[in-house]
Amino acid sequence: MTEWTKAAGRDRWAPRAGRQQQGPPASVSIWLADIGDFAEMNAVWDAWNAGHLALGRGTGESSLARAEYKVEIIMIAARA
């Protein structure tokens, strides 16, 4: 779980979303293949947000697009 989510770290997605790293997305949804991974995902989430405005998010368990996926993250950003 940690390696999967580190690969999608904040420094990689924030510029692609057209936002400064200090500005959080409007909405974040995290889907885990196994809700038992919640504590580990939460630790990665806290590390992503260290030194930045905290991002609110919803987390749930679901079947994912591919059997080998452990986590899917959906972020919605908006420009002012």
Q: Are 71 and 41 in contact (CB under 8 A)?
A: yes
Percent of the chain with pLDDT over 90: 24
Mean pLDDT on 51-68: 86
The yes-or-no verdict on residue 72 having pLDDT over 80 is yes
Q: Count the neighbouring beta carbons within 10 Å of the beta carbon of residue 24.
A: 19
8 CB-side CA count, 13 A: 15
Please report the domains of the chain, with CATH numbers, ordered by start residue.
2-76 (3.30.1330.40)
Which DSSP helix (H) or strand (E) runs through 58?
strand 58-61
pLDDT digits over 26-51, tens only? 788 999 999 999 999 888 888 877 77
User: Would you say 48 and 9 are in contact if contact means Cβ atoms under 8 Å apart?
Assistant: yes
